[in-house]
Amino acid sequence: GDSVTQMEGPVTLSEEAFLTINCTYTATGYPSLFWYVQYPGEGLQLLLKATKADDKGSNKGFEATYRKETTSFHLEKGSVQVSDSAVYFCALSVGGTSYGKLTFGQGTILTVHP
């Protein structure tokens, strides 16, 4: 079945450090890929998405590139801020009978210190 694997956390960084959170996937068919973020006490928010190979999603300084050859969608940010502290989820969605179903990774907790 479809699955998403994220790098194990938690991740602790100092402000202005470079961030990478690894995400790899297994899917039947051609998935769309997403990164969601969950701030403390809030619901999941879509951070960025990509729907085909080599697409780059970007938002709020975060970027991720859809790599079909390595089945990966790693999240990066050049300079993190304290306000980026949250839980980050990689997810995929495929079409067909599973259309609309998001399959999530286990989440990565990011803590950024001043």
Whose tokens are 């990478």? That residue is 20
Of residues 57, 91, 92, 93, the one with CA closest to residue 76? 57
Q: 3-state DSSP: the chain helix, strand, coil percent, rounded to 5?
A: 5, 50, 45
104: contact with other proteins by CB under 8 A: yes
Residue closer to other proteins by CB (options 10, 78) is 10
Question: Between residue 4 and residue 33, which ones bind other proteins under the rule CB under 8 A?
Answer: 4, 32
E strands in 22-80: 23-26, 32-38, 44-50, 56-59, 62-65, 75-77
96: contact with other proteins by CB under 8 A: no
Contact region with other proteins (CB under 8 A), list: 22-30, 52-60, 63-71, 101-109: 101-109
40: contact with other proteins by CB under 8 A: no
Q: Using CB under 8 A, which of 24, 65, 71, 98 touches other proteins?
A: 98
